[in-house]
Amino acid sequence: MRIRIPMMIQDPKWSTLEGLERKTERPFFEEDFFLDGPVSRRVAILDLDPKTGKLEESVPFRPPTGSQTLWRYKLDDPDDIYARDAIALNVFGTVLLTMKMFEDPDALGRELAWGFDGPQLLVIPRAGEWPNAFYQRASRSLQFFFFPNPREEGDVVYTSLSRDIVSHETGHAILDGIAPGLYDAISPQSLALHEGVADLTAALMAFRSGNLRVQVLEKTGGSIDDASDFGSIGEEFGLARYGLGYLRDLRNDLGMGDVDHSSPHELSQVLSGALYKVMLQLHKEKWQEGSPAGEPFAISASGFALWKAAEQFKRMILRALDYLPPGEVSFADYGRAILASDQASHPHAGEVRTWIRKEWVERGMVPSESALRVKTDYTHRALEGVDLPTLIDSDWAAYQFANENRRLLRIPADVPFVVEPRLDVSKRYYHREGEVEVRECLFKVRWVQTEPNSISRRWPWKRRVRVGTTLAIDWETGKIRVLLSSDRRRRHQEEEEQQEDRDLFLRHLAEAGLMRLGDRALAHDGQPLGSIVQAESQDGVLKAEGTARMLHVIGRADHG
Amino acid sequence: MDKLRVRVYNVRFGDAILVTVPEQVEGGGTETRHILFDVGNAKSSKQGGEGHDDRVFAPVVQDIVQELDGDPLDLYIMTHEHWDHVQGLPYADEHVFPTQDLKALLQVQHSWFSGSAALDYYEKHPEAEKALAMVDAVYAQLEDLWAADPEQADDPFTDVLMINNNSNATAYYVDRLRLLAGEANTHYVHRPRPGHPEDSLAGKHPFQELGLSIWAPEEDTADYFAKLQPMALNVTPGENEGDQPSLTSVVPPSGVDAGAFYNLISQRKRNLLDNLLTIDKAKNNTSLVILLEWRGWKLLFPADAERKSWQMMDHHNQLEEVHFLKVSHHGSDTGMPPAEMLDQIFPGEAQVASDGRPRYAVVSTYPHTYSSVPDDDTLEELRQRCTLYSTKEDVEDQGYLYIDLEFDEAGDTVIVQPGGAPA
């Protein structure tokens, strides 16, 4: 079923401040069904009254009348963006549009699965008064709050009206389905990856808006280098809370030495800043290429160049998520995943990969470019005779394959491992010769390593760290398209840095009382406390879970 | 030989400590002076619940009056505004000495209160006022919830947390305690700030030999109040003023799985407990932490200070080795100083201090009152560093009213003696 949903292009107040004439747009959506709510098979808006919890009247879904051809959600007053029903519909549209971007045939190329056991993400657009928003796996929900603007009497800031914030939180939910192991990570870079990808999701969603692109480029004369509409996250929120025009600014030159390694929010800015810079370079390159001869950087060429660059940027960032090894990952792992994804499909066109390597080194995410070296598209005897449909369907076959190929998959001898459900995915690639569909089998295996735990004598002396390997097999050629592992037995410097960061992060959680052992993390009724990470000691080894749900409690980085 | 005596009474889940100090005074001779900490126990709205038993107060306050034997109480210290630290003396005045004036019996010379108990505190500290407003808002919601669904108020742990932290309820007792020493000798104290002579303790107590210092809290305690989580308790207010609130009835809309829907509703209510614990912790961190020094002995009384307060004390280089510790917050793991800070107070795993004097601690506690308090691992860790006594095992279970620790002036002996008869 196909409909159109009205959505904010930018934060409402920010749109006015920036002089944007067009504040809403109505993209098309296609889902199995739509119901009053709005509700669809995969997303349901629950407009619960923030004070009483009463479920407000649904936004009705009505058939076309007169000259209309599409069913639509009927708003009481379509011009009132602050109306309850408009807010609900805006969130619905933004969540669906974000999902659609990830599912693009040239991104992940498949329908998303959530990180929880169930088909439907529940969304509360006005969850209460609080300057925050979050994704919560346990409740399968996104919750958006509002707060009075301390700088403008009578004004209320709704996070659910911010395209950035809604797509950021949806990015968390989506990533939880792609890489669920990150939710329990104890490595600050893993949690920072969650934040960074969520911020980049927001930036991508801004680039996706044709209306916003046109309006911004008209204002700037074609350049996006200083355009806050794309590079600033949560403009209205940042302005109201901090007097800054952003909650985070992706236009930064932050390096690993500039940020607190125990703070995933601060760390995330290094990653997102690096990738955003690559995006700026992509746009410049395409702008120059697309400009008429003798007229470099013609404004007429900027819009198309921006669209092309944004699409390439999207493919680069999102495809790499499939190649992340399961378990704890670092920025270096994600860098290798991006490079591997690009190299596997475009082995000869390497300029973007040069930029990425440069950013990673300059910002201190890796010690040198050699740390990002990846091998792609090669044969291996382990895959000879492997029947991919059986490998996908049969857990036994998958286990046997992993056990017989421990060396290839970097699994230590005699260590138990888990093989994740295999995925048969097809993605569209654009080559000079035309479009190509690449089908691959994604095979992921994970196991547990133990390392020293140096947070305090009151804690176990060892801790558990999940590591893993992703093997992407080209369905057609039977070659290894990509093989990436977070096993760092051969990358000593990276491993040392990760361990130090884990010490810092866990020590911070322990000292702040945000992580507690055993029953101390539970309420008197035996249920977990929402603001505490429950850690267990099993045979003297520390296990912690659900750390990602602390992200909105730990706080957000903001900087001037 | 002179001895300083610390008498820790069994008031179940609360604190009541009488310190008797022989002081050499000008002109020669010795005078005996007294300090009384708190007197309170956790309150439940349920009658006869474990840990909260007002019957404990009668013999305790009678013993205090008997020990004073007509002499004045030199210093009363109310460490913080939690019910289990403030209720006892006003309760005793009404119920134990109904025909007498307890104030006249005690003759309190000076009172110390935590800074945030000052009547004008919130006027002067806008951030603390905002924090208080947040706390009041949480309480208002919880009171509506309990009015709408009294069964939810049956939970004893939540009940104790609510009452202990109810500033409106504790204000009644704090106001009565304010009258003990009279306005001129009631002092709102905190850790002294450099360059602020008004923070000095001179003139705020009568001690000439005993050293008193305040390790915590700061003058402005707003930072201890962490952000509260939003609560969705599903209560609909009555239609007209004075009407009873009711629980909001919600059903899942069409197309939404009922199990997932009700799970979400349930998860959103969970923040209630987190918030109560956050409020409780914040108040605990406003505790007055007092060090007494007498003839080489150092005795630390941290009331209910929790982790963040210890971290602030460490940040301000307050921590030093002591010989006696009143275990913080009734033996909770959150009241235990972080490991490296415990290493400063009780360095080394031995039951003697670095000067060879023995080390002691007393925990005033009662099980099944606060969740996970006392914490076994916390007490075990302390036992490796000192000789530890408990008001539960060593006083109540043995049929006594208090435990005395007498620190002799030679510095090598501490006599430990339980005594007194409970009600």
Chain A: closest CA distance from residue B83 (Å): 20
Q: How far is residue A423's CA from residue A440's CA, in Å, rounded to a whole number?
A: 8
CA-based nearest distance A116→chain B, Å: 11
**How close, in Å, is residue B223 to chain A by CA atoms?**
13
Alpha-carbon distances, residue B24 vs A356, B290, B323, B324 (angstroms) = 76, 21, 21, 22
Does residue A153 register a pLDDT over 80? Answer: yes
CA distance B335 to chain A (A): 11
Q: What is the pLDDT at residue A536? A: 94
Residue B28: pLDDT band (50, 70, 90) is: confident
Other Cβ atoms less than 10 A from the Cβ of B25: the count is 14
The H or E element spanning position A424 is strand A423-431
User: Does residue A560 register a pLDDT over 50?
Assistant: no
* Residue A369: alpha-carbon gap to chain centroid: 25
- Please tell me the predicted confidence (pLDDT) of residue B46: 62
pLDDT band of A348, cuts 50, 70, 90? confident
pLDDT > 60? residue A553: no
Task: Compute the average pLDDT of residues A312-322.
Answer: 96
- Binding-face residues of B in 143-162 toward A, CB within 8 A: 155, 157-158
Chain B contacts of A525, Cβ < 8 Å? 155
Q: Which of B177, B219, B196, B193 is nearest to B86 (CA)?
A: B177
pTM of the model: 0.93
Q: What is the pLDDT of residues B191-202, one digit of tens each?
A: 999 999 999 999
> Is A44's Cβ below 8 Å from some Cβ in B?
yes
pLDDT of residue A324: 97
φ, ψ of residue B344 in degrees (nearest 5): -85, -35
Residue B330, min C-alpha distance to chain A (Å): 15
Chain B residues inside the 8 Å CB shell of A141:
264, 267
In this prediction, residue A559 has a pLDDT band, given cuts at 50, 70 and 90, of: very low
Taking an 8 Å cut-off on Cβ atoms, the answer to whether A53 and B232 are in contact is yes
The whole-angstrom separation of Cα A95 and Cα A143 is: 12
The rounded distance, in Å, linking the Cα atoms of A1 and B158 is: 49
Neighboring chain A residues of B267 at a CB cutoff of 8 Å: 136, 138-139, 141
User: CB–CB of A35 and B375 under 8 A?
Assistant: no
| Probe site for chain A from B144, B227, B233, B256 (most A CB atoms < 10 A) | B256
CB nearest to A139's CB, from B155, B158, B264:
B264
The mean pLDDT value for B283-297 works out to: 97
User: Residues A349-368: pLDDT tens digits?
Assistant: 789 999 999 999 999 999 99
pLDDT in tens, A359-416: 999 999 999 999 999 999 999 999 999 999 999 999 999 999 999 999 999 999 999 9
Question: Taking all residues of chain B, what is their mean pLDDT, rounded to a whole number?
Answer: 92
Smallest Cβ–Cβ distance between B260 and the set A37, A140, A512 belongs to A140
Cα–Cα nearest to A242, from A150, A375, A153: A150
pLDDT band, very low/low/confident/very high, at B50 (cuts 50, 70, 90): low
pLDDT of residue A465: 96
Max Cα distance, chain B (Å)? 89
pLDDT digits (tens, 9 = 90+) for A426-443: 999 998 888 999 999 999
The Cα of B52 is separated from the nearest Cα of chain A by a number of Å equal to: 17
Q: Do B381 and A527 touch (CB under 8 A)?
A: no
Q: How far is A337 from chain B (nearest CA, A)?
A: 35
The pLDDT-based confidence of B152 (bands split at 50, 70, 90) is confident
The alpha carbon of residue A141 is apart from the nearest alpha carbon of chain B, in Å, by: 7
Average pLDDT of chain A to the nearest whole number: 93
How many angstroms separate the CA of residue A522 from the nearest CA in chain B?
9
CA dihedral defined by A246, A250, A254, A260, rounded to 10 degrees?
60
**Which tens digit of pLDDT belongs to each residue from A235-291?**
999 999 999 888 899 999 999 999 999 999 999 999 999 999 999 999 999 999 888
Rg for chain A, CA atoms, rounded? 24
Nearest CA in chain B to A524: B371
Higher pLDDT, B185 or A301: B185
User: Chain B neighbours among A 514-533 (CB < 8 Å)?
Assistant: 516, 519-520, 522-525, 527, 529-532
The contacts of residue B380 (CB under 8 Å, 6+ apart) are none
Inter-chain residue contact A524 with B157, CB threshold 8 Å:
yes
A215 touches B at CB < 8 Å: no
The pLDDT-based confidence of B47 (bands split at 50, 70, 90) is low
Residue A557's pLDDT is what?
Answer: 41
Percent of chain A with pLDDT over 90: 78
Asked if the Cβ–Cβ distance from A524 to B375 is below 8 Å, we say no
Task: Please indicate if any CB of chain B lies within 8 Å of the CB of A130.
Answer: yes
CB contact under 8 A, A529 and B277: yes
Give residue B53's pLDDT.
Answer: 79
B338 contact A CB<8A: yes
Pick from A53, A127, A145: CB nearest B248:
A53
Q: Cβ contacts of residue A315 below 8 Å, gap of 6+?
A: A106, A107
What percent of chain B shows pLDDT beyond 90?
74
Contact call for B255 and A530, based on CB within 8 A: no
pLDDT confidence tier of residue B87, bands split at 50, 70 and 90: very high
Contact B256 A120 (CB under 8 A): yes
3-state secondary structure A130-149: CCCEEEECCCCEEEECEEEC
Chain A CA closest to residue B337 = A511
Are B253 and A58 a contacting pair at CB < 8 A? yes
B251 in A contact zone (CB under 8 Å): yes
Does the predicted interface ipTM exceed a cut of 0.90? yes
Nearest residue to A12 via CA among A210, A198, A174, A146? A146
**A130 CA to chain B: closest CA distance, Å?**
7
Residue-level pLDDT at B237: 86
Query: Could you say which residues from 381 to 410 on chain B have a Cβ atom under 8 Å away from some Cβ of chain A?
Result: 381
Distance from C-alpha of A367 to C-alpha of A543, rounded to nearest angstrom: 30
User: Nearest CA to CA, how far is B202 from chain A (Å)?
Assistant: 35
Predicted confidence band at A490 (pLDDT cuts at 50, 70, 90)?
confident
* Res A480: pLDDT: 97
Show Cβ contacts of residue B78 under 8 Å, excluding neighbours closer than 6 positions. B38, B85, B86, B111, B112, B113, B114, B117, B174, B177, B288
Tell me: the pLDDT tens digits for B387-407? Answer: 999 999 999 999 999 999 999
Nearest CA in chain A to B263: A139
Instruction: Return the higher-pLDDT residue of A552 and A28.
Output: A28
CB proximity B234 to A under 8 Å:
yes
**Token digits for B311?**
């971290």
- The answer to whether B232 contacts A128, with C-beta atoms less than 8 Å apart, is yes
Q: Degrees (nearest 5) of the Cα angle A133, B234, A240?
A: 30
CB contact under 8 A, A513 and B265: no
**How far is residue B69's CA from residue B75's CA, in Å, rounded to a whole number?**
16
- On chain B, the residues whose CB falls within 8 A of the CB of A506 are none
pLDDT score recorded for residue B167: 84
Which residue among A46, A48, A531 places its CB closest to the CB of B229?
A531
Give mean pLDDT, residues B161-179. 90
- Residue in chain A closest to B275 (alpha carbons) equals A531
Interface A-B, measured as beta-carbon pairs within 8 A, has a size of: 126
- With an 8 Å Cβ cutoff, are A457 and B372 in contact? no
At residue B310, does pLDDT exceed 80?
Answer: yes
The alpha carbons of chain B give a radius of gyration, in whole angstroms, of: 22
Task: Give the amino acid at B367.
Answer: P
Neighboring chain A residues of B230 at a CB cutoff of 8 Å: 127-130, 145
**Confidence band for A13, pLDDT divided at 50, 70 and 90:** confident
Q: Is the per-residue pLDDT at A528 higher than 90?
A: no
With CA atoms as reference, the chain A residue closest to B158 would be: A524
Q: Packing angle between helix A331-345 and helix A264-290, nearest 10 degrees?
A: 30
Q: What is the tens place of the pLDDT at every residue in A180-217?
A: 999 999 999 999 999 999 999 999 999 999 888 888 89
Tokens of B68: 């004073």
Q: CB distance from A1 to chain B under 8 Å?
A: no
pLDDT per residue as tens digits for the range B227-250: 788 889 999 988 888 888 999 999
**Does the distance separating the beta carbons of A511 and B254 come in below 8 Å?**
no
pLDDT band at B415 (very low <50, low <70, confident <90, very high): confident
Pairwise CB contact (< 8 Å): B268 & A139 = yes
pLDDT beyond 60 at A507 = yes
pLDDT greater at residue B362 or residue A227 = B362
